[in-house]
């Protein structure tokens, strides 16, 4: 299946924000606890976060990471913290109930609630950042589009649009 988060018929942009740091889930250093990272994500996301977001079928995230330095950086561990930051169950567990009504988009961080996670990253000389965009899949979906025989023979059917 091909999806396009820019397709305003099927997806609705909810909010975008940027953090001037880049981090991953599971870093074991004492100064880098996951709970503190989720709290920083919520603090940044809450700035100008829209109120009264219509319900959606599920949620999607587009994440773009810039990381400086030579230290290994496991990009697949970035989305976990961001997805958890908007999970009502995790917000309560982190004792940040003041964010439940504003940022609690879904009850649990499962596939039933989060259907797409796109992530891209690049190494930079001196800049660390994470740009996060959140999308809502609209309730009324049109039929999924599949590549035609001509599209498959002329290009890679496994690529997704961004």
Per-residue confidence (pLDDT) for residue 162, from 0 to 100: 43
> Could you tell me if residue 4 is inside a domain?
no
Q: Is residue 86 part of a domain?
A: yes
Instruction: Give pLDDT, residue 153.
Output: 47
Mean pLDDT of 67-87: 94
In order of 19, 42, 88, 99, the CA distances from 96 in angstroms are: 19, 9, 10, 6
Q: Dump pLDDT digits (tens) for 129-161.
A: 999 999 999 876 555 555 655 554 454 444 444
The answer to the question of residue 162 being in a domain is: no
How many CB atoms neighbour CB 47 within 10 A?
8
Q: What is the CATH number of the domain that holds 90?
A: 3.30.1330.70
Tell me the CA distances in angstroms from 64 to 1, 56, 155, one per residue in order: 22, 23, 25
* Tokens standing for residue 113: 């609630």
Quote the CA–CA distance of 139 and 150 in Å, as a whole number: 31
Query: Which has the higher per-residue pLDDT, 32 or 19?
Result: 19
Higher pLDDT: 103 or 30? It is 103
Residue 48 backbone zone (phi > 0: left; psi -120 to 50: alpha; other: beta): left
% residues pLDDT > 90 (the chain): 68
CA contacts within 13 A on the Cβ side of 51 = 1
pLDDT of residue 155: 47
Sign of CA dihedral 98, 102, 107, 110: negative
Range of the domain at 68: 11-154
87-129 pLDDT, tens digit per residue, is 999 999 999 999 999 999 999 999 999 999 999 999 999 999 9
Residue 159 belongs to a domain: no
Is residue 160 in a domain? no
pLDDT value at position 1?
Answer: 60
Q: Is the pLDDT of residue 73 over 80?
A: yes
- Whole-angstrom distance, CA of residue 139 vs CA of residue 10: 8
Q: What percentage of the chain carries pLDDT values higher than 70?
A: 83
Say how many domains are in the chain: 1
């Amino acid at each position: 299946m091909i999806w396009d988060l820019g397709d305003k018929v099927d997806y609705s942009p909810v909010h975008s924000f940027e953090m001037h740091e880049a981090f991953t889930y599971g870093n074991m250093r004492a100064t880098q606890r996951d709970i503190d990272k989720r709290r920083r994500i919520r603090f940044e996301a809450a700035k100008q976060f829209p109120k009264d977001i219509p319900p959606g079928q599920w949620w999607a995230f587009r994440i773009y990471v810039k990381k400086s330095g030579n230290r290994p950086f496991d990009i697949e561990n970035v989305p976990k913290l961001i997805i958890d930051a908007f999970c009502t169950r995790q917000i309560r567990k982190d004792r940040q109930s003041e964010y439940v009504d504003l940022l609690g988009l879904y009850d649990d961080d499962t596939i039933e609630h989060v259907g797409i996670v796109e992530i891209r990253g690049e190494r930079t000389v001196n800049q660390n950042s994470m740009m996060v965009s959140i999308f809502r899949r609209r309730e009324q979906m049109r039929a999924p589009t599949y590549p035609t025989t001509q599209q498959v023979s002329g290009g890679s059917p496994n690529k997704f649009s961004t």
